[in-house]
Structure 1
Amino acid sequence: MPDLKPDAVVVIRAFDDVPEHLFRIDTVEEDRVTGTALTGPFAGAYGEPPLELVKARDGKD
């Protein structure tokens, strides 16, 4: 997804026991993004999901 950038809000795919959720990007790395979960059970928590879990942009940024 070439338009990923800091402050973008994206949808992270469901994985393991974590449901699909919104995530605000802090940085875009070679193989992952870093930032904060906005919704779901880890809302407010820092995370580093791999790029393959980024499903889509939420369209609000």
Structure 2
Amino acid sequence: MTELELNPGDVVIIRAFDDVPEHLFRVEVVFEDCVTGFAVTGPLAGSYGEPALEMIVRLISTN
């Protein structure tokens, strides 16, 4: 995947894992190897998470 320029407030798609389907995620903080924020859709909607950058499928919208 190409390096993404991620910023707080961006919405990305997180790939499916375990029993959790692909879902939207709003970024709050960007680190070197992961982002923090909250799931927007799916069974984890409203839940805090720290997905690794390699779990990001693509950028949906920017802040």
TM-score exceeds 0.5: yes
Three-state SS of the structure 1 residue aligned to 2:19 is coil
Match in the other structure for 2:50: 48
Once the 2 structures are TM-superposed, how far is the Cα of residue 33 of structure 1 from its aligned partner? 0.5
**Does 2:9 match 1:7?**
yes
Tell me the percent identity: 58
Partner deviation per Cα, 1:1-34 (whole Å, 9 max, x = no partner) = 3311110000000011110000000001111000
Aligned length: 60
**Normalised TM-score (structure 1):** 0.91
Provide TM-score, normalisation by structure 2. Answer: 0.89
Structure 1 gap ranges (5+): none
The RMSD of aligned alpha carbons is 0.9
